[in-house]
A and B are shown apart, each in its own frame.
Chain A
Amino acid sequence: MIQITRLAVLGPLMAAALPALAQDANLGRNLAATCANCHGTNGQVRGDTVKPLAGVSADKIVAAINDFKSGAQPATIMHQIAKGYSDDQIKLIARHFAAQPAKK
């Protein structure tokens, strides 16, 4: 009973802590996480081989990925990966990285 009461109180607190658009926010976050294996967690890349994404403007990221997609920007691998994501998904990914602090 104690637990139930506690949870009942917690319910609205948790709801308030989560943004109203949690579903949309999580979609960008989840998509961006597919990039982390090479580009670092939340785009905070390690080493200097791969360009950082954290804190880069969303427009810049979208433009770069579109250039990979079109072939305007030659790449070793990004032209193949970029073609796997829709334009809407790329926008969500770009927004997520743009909102991250550049340095951990």
Chain B
Amino acid sequence: MRQHSTFSRRRLLGTGLAAAAGLPFIGCANLGGGPSIGRVVIVGGGFGGATAARYLRLWGSNVDVTLVERNGSFVSCPISNLVLGGHKQMSDITMSYAGLEAVGVKRVQGDVTAIDPQAKEVRLADGRKLPYDRLVLSPGIDFMFDQVGGLGTPAAQEKVLHSWKAGPQTVALRRQLEAMPDGGVYALTIPKAPYRCPPGPYERACMVASYFKQFKPRSKVLVLDANPEITSKKGLFEKAFADHYKGIVEYRPNNELKSVDAATNTAKLEFDDVKADVLNVVPPQRAGDIARTSGLLNMNNRWAGVNWLTMESTAVPGIHVLGDATFSAPLMPKSGHMANQHAKVAAAAIIQILQGQPVNATPVVMNTCYSFVTARDVIHVASVHQYDIAEKILKTVPGSGGLSPAANQVEGRNALSWAQNIWADMLAT
């Protein structure tokens, strides 16, 4: 172990200098603050991973940070439902990683195939190996396609879309909606909680309905929810369905999807079959594959347990897990905003750990989630979570947080401002 750490530290100093020499904005990147205090590899460039990269550089200018992400640019899930509704374009939610590179983050585009926590090394599909002192894993979610019969093949998955990761599937679902004739049925299935972005499906129903209302008014949005009721902002979404989309949106609780027939766009429920023109299945989810193959999923074999002081895995030391992949604390949503907050707790802790200093004993995170119910009217839910020393968990503060009293356009502007600011915060644009 001792030899390993000496070896990685030497590698780290060497590559750190090499990276610095290649940086165009060396003066701005603050790499002149002295030799690296440690090498951090981050896997996943979403809300969690990108924020971790940015804040490790912001707060620890002498930390050597490498961000591994398979995609060449960032596509935001928040606001992507507006693309489905035709109110925003893909270019509005697609951003480059250049800002992070400009602050000294070394970006590696590739697929991580394995993590070796003994050798402290990340292995990529192309054979590259990245040694680390601390690893940050922000893998998001992957889908449990095996839980939905008939959805196991690539052909079925290309036809029955999830669009629950923003990107090509967002574009493809929008095309299906555009191609659907007026008078058609768009069916959206929602898995049992927990899943990524609790209010997201209901916002999607509103956005697709807003498109139908304007361009295909005889069409229907059928929401088939495995949950017994709307899982987030219930009264506000019910009011939106009634006020804006009466006769368009039909909501059915306790309708768990069992299987699909992709050829006929049929959703097979417990007592009922529903044939749709566009079938959009949000499958059950668990932490991203790399967290599973790395042995991190110690909670229900689905999520990664973490120490809330540091976001370090409770299964494998030296690996910090962020965002949707974690086993959420009570009332903590799986959201991009929360992943950003996790990342700041982790970044602060990692810098302390690399310096041999105690970590913050009282971390705080908060969540703000805006949902569009029309192209302009927005509702929110907010919460603040403080660390409880006795229970060793982040807990919501009694009396804090809450919902919008009603959908409104002021929050419509605030929601877009939120997106602009969180994207800038995580991508250092």
What is the interface of chain A, defined by CB distance below 8 A to chain B? 3, 6, 10, 13-14, 17-18, 22-23, 26-27, 29-31, 33-34, 36-41, 45-47, 49-50, 76-77, 80-85, 89
Q: Lowest 9 CB-CB distances: which A-B pairs, in order?
A: A84-B384, A84-B400, A49-B417, A83-B400, A84-B397, A80-B402, A37-B422, A33-B344, A36-B425
Q: In the complex, which residue of chain A has the Cβ closest to the Cβ of B405?
A: A76
Q: Is B383 an interface residue (CB 8 A)?
A: yes
Q: Is B127 an interface residue (CB 8 A)?
A: no
Give the secondary structure class of A's interface.
Answer: helix
Q: Is B304 an interface residue (CB 8 A)?
A: no
> Knowing A14-B355, A77-B414, A84-B386 touch, does A30 contact B366 (C-beta < 8 A)?
no
Q: Is B41 an interface residue (CB 8 A)?
A: no
Q: Which of B380, B385, B404, B417 has the most CB of A within 10 A?
A: B417
Q: Is B314 an interface residue (CB 8 A)?
A: no
Q: Which listed residue (B360, B385, B402, B420) contacts A26, Cβ 8 A?
A: B360
**Shortest CB distance B105–A (Å):** 15
Q: How many residues of B contact A (CB 8 A)?
A: 55
**Shortest CB distance B419–A (Å):** 10
Assess the A50–B421 pair: CB atoms within 8 A. yes
> Knowing A80-B400, A84-B400 touch, does A26 contact B417 (C-beta < 8 A)?
no
Q: Which listed residue (B365, B397, B402) contacts A34, Cβ 8 A?
A: B365
Assess the B382–A77 pair: CB atoms within 8 A. yes
> Knowing A13-B34, A17-B34 touch, does A83 contact B397 (C-beta < 8 A)?
yes
A76 to B362, CA, bound (A): 27
Assess the B357–A81 pair: CB atoms within 8 A. no
A95 to B120, CA, bound (A): 39
A66 to B184, CA, bound (A): 52
> Knowing A39-B421, A83-B400 touch, does A22 contact B357 (C-beta < 8 A)?
yes
Residues in A with CB closer than 8 Å to B54 are: 41
> Knowing A80-B382, A84-B397, A89-B364 touch, does A23 contact B358 (C-beta < 8 A)?
yes
Q: Is B340 an interface residue (CB 8 A)?
A: yes
Assess the A76–B397 pair: CB atoms within 8 A. no
> Knowing A77-B380, A81-B384, A84-B366 touch, does A38 contact B418 (C-beta < 8 A)?
yes
Q: In the complex, which residue of chain B has the Cβ closest to the Cβ of A48?
A: B417
Residues in B with CB closer than 8 Å to A23 are: 357-358
Proximity bits, B1-28, A CB within 8 Å = 1, else 0: 0000010011000000000000000000
Residues in B with CB closer than 8 Å to A27 are: 360, 362
Q: In the complex, which residue of chain A has the Cβ closest to the Cβ of B408?
A: A76
> Knowing A50-B417, A76-B408 touch, does A30 contact B365 (C-beta < 8 A)?
no
Q: Is B144 an interface residue (CB 8 A)?
A: no
10 A-B pairs (CB sep. < 8 Å):
A29-B59, A37-B340, A40-B425, A46-B420, A77-B414, A80-B400, A81-B400, A83-B400, A84-B366, A85-B397
